[in-house]
Amino acid sequence: MFRSVTEFWENWYIIGENDAGLDKNGKFQHPGKDGVESTFVTLRHMCEVIRVYPPEGVKDLRDWVTKGLTHDELVAHVKENSEADGGLGPNTLENDIAIGIAKRFLRETYTQDKGLALRNYRDDWYEWNGQHYVKLTLKQLRGVIYEWLEDKMFMQKDGQGGEKLVPYKASKAKMNDIIDTFSSCCLIETDPPVWVGPKSKIAPSNLIMFENGALDVDDYVHGKITFHDPSPELFSLNCCPYNYDEDARSQFVEDFLSETFEDEESVNLNWEWGGYLLTPDISREKFMLLHGVVEHRHQLVIQMLLMVMEQLLERLYL
């Protein structure tokens, strides 16, 4: 009888309740939402199911009607606020199979517009912080997954061809299975910096990473400033701890270098050497001796370069 009714009406609307709150033990609960998801599981293979909740300040459909709900208002609200994609709710898993859970976790937690933001390199985990990749301990990663799995339900076959919602009980063994499946899409086998998304024509060794993006060194030395937005598709473990600003200058440093060196060529060489230290390129295999610098100014020049790079070196994982 129920199936024949669902065949008669192609679309079914499930209107939940705004009854979220804390139980007597102080734990968050939302029984109205749980009921919606349970009903959705029952109906989803029979017809298109549209899920919707009353507006804020309205407990349920009865309360909504009491406050003067009209047919037109209901239709307009459903169009603007319904969930009709046929997918599962945020707390419902398709099943308890590790690979499916892992893919959904990565999609919801570590996927951005420009790609995946979680990587494994030399058995260590790294996450994208918006500028470059930073180390994430296995304990921290487990914590993120445990938090994501909290209050999750999954659909379990009932032996009669039907489905029912069952709480997902996380365990160390299940956690290990989920993390192991990450290797299929998170593994990095090439030393950074390296592109991990669609291949780029720009060699990573020609980029200097700043907090606001990457500077193309090849273009820069030819008088052209080419700047690229930060992207998780570039697996890089270091980043200059400041924004790149082509107009930034330090009159104090310029005066100091002019007073320290006898000619402009030596001043320019100092700037060039400082830029060389910021790149991973060591193909030139050169070293420089400061000769003829008066007093202890050579030490100050070296100290200045070290101070510029100090925070960068602290961010570099070897």
Q: Which of 79-83, 125-129, 207-211, 294-298 has the lowest mean pLDDT?
A: 294-298
**What pLDDT is attached to residue 84?**
47
Please tell me whether residues 100 and 187 are part of one structural domain: yes
pTM of structure:
0.65
Q: Which of 6-15, 90-99, 210-219, 235-244 has the lowest mean pLDDT?
A: 6-15
Span 72-86, average pLDDT: 75
- Does the residue 137 lie in any domain? yes
Strand ranges inside the chain, DSSP E: 11-15, 21-22, 28-29, 48-52, 92-93, 111-112, 115-116, 118-121, 124-128, 133-136, 153-157, 163-167, 187-188, 194-195, 207-210, 213-216, 227-228, 234-235
- Does the residue 199 lie in any domain? no
The pLDDT of residue 159 is above 50 = yes
Q: Please give the residue that has the higher pLDDT: either 14 or 309.
A: 14
- Does the residue 226 lie in any domain? no
Please tell me whether residues 77 and 135 are part of one structural domain: no
| DSSP secondary structure code for residue 276 in this structure | H
- Does the residue 123 lie in any domain? yes
Number of folded domains in the chain?
A: 3
Please tell me whether residues 26 and 100 are part of one structural domain: no
- Does the residue 58 lie in any domain? yes
What residues make up the domain containing 174?
Answer: 96-155+167-192
Q: Please give the residue that has the higher pLDDT: either 2 or 101.
A: 101
Please tell me whether residues 58 and 136 are part of one structural domain: no
Computed from CA positions of residues 28, 33, 37, 39, in that sequence, does the dihedral angle turn out positive or negative?
Answer: positive
Cβ-defined contacts of 107-113 (< 8 Å, 24+): 108/148, 109/144, 109/148, 112/232
Most confident of 72-86, 98-112, 279-293: 98-112
Please tell me whether residues 50 and 100 are part of one structural domain: no
Span 276-296, average pLDDT: 70
- Does the residue 40 lie in any domain? yes
